[in-house]
């Protein structure tokens, strides 16, 4: 990004915050890993491979040569009416095709394990996630 930014240009990037839980993707990855489902791509279940702490993010941009770096953590909340509805979002993730390729009983096992992990109540399921959003100037 530094190479392609023009002098005085501003870059903005966002990654999941390492300081916070990974939202719905955490339980999804844990479920698939616990059940021995093969990873769709290297390190897919390693939550640390796509999260970054705010201090690390700032250091990364500073080392690359950016200045006037600012990092903010933004927390978001997602809500589903039921654990079943929350669990069905798995189909729309990069894990979806992997689970769809499993035999029916294995798909049910993934779904049931994820529902158990999500817990929830009669009011549905609420999951929080957070992103670190950084800005820097070349």
Cα 32 from Cα 59, distance rounded (Å):
33
In CATH terms, is domain 10-137 a member of 3.40.50.150? yes
Which region, left, alpha or beta, applies to residue 118 given φ > 0 means left and ψ of -120 to 50 means alpha? alpha
Band the pLDDT of 37: cuts 50, 70, 90. confident
Band the pLDDT of 22: cuts 50, 70, 90. confident
Q: CB 118: neighbour CB atoms within 10 A? A: 21
Least confident of 33-47, 54-68, 85-99, 112-126: 33-47
| Spans of all domains in the chain | 10-137
| pLDDT given for residue 23 in this prediction | 86
66-115 confidence digits (pLDDT tens): 999 999 999 999 999 999 999 999 999 888 998 999 999 999 999 999 99
Write down the residue that tokens 């791509």 correspond to: 41
Cα 22 from Cα 70, distance rounded (Å):
22
Cα 69 from Cα 10, distance rounded (Å):
10
For the entire predicted model, the pTM comes to 0.75
pLDDT at residue 52 tops 70: yes
Task: Please list, in sequence order, all residues whose beta carbon lies within 8 angstroms of the beta carbon of residue 86, skipping any fewer than 6 positions away.
Answer: 24, 80, 115, 118, 120, 124, 125, 127
* 23 closest CA partner among 71, 72, 75: 75
pLDDT at residue 44 tops 70: no
What mean pLDDT, rounded, does the chain reach?
90
pLDDT at residue 29 tops 70: yes
102 three-class SS? coil
């Amino acid at each position: 990004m530094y190479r392609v930014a023009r002098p005085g240009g501003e870059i903005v990037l966002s990654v999941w915050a390492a300081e916070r839980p990974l939202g719905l993707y955490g339980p999804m990855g844990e479920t698939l890993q616990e059940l021995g489902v093969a990873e769709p791509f290297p390190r897919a279940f390693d939550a640390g491979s796509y999260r970054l702490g705010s201090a690390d993010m700032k250091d990364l941009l500073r080392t690359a040569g950016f200045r006037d770096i600012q990092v903010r953590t933004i927390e978001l909340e997602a809500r589903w009416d039921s654990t079943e509805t929350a669990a069905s979002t798995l189909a729309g993730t990069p894990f979806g095709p992997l689970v769809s390729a499993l035999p029916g009983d294995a798909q049910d096992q993934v779904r049931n394990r994820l529902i158990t992990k999500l817990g929830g109540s009669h009011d549905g399921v609420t999951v929080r996630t957070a992103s670190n959003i950084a800005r820097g100037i070349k």
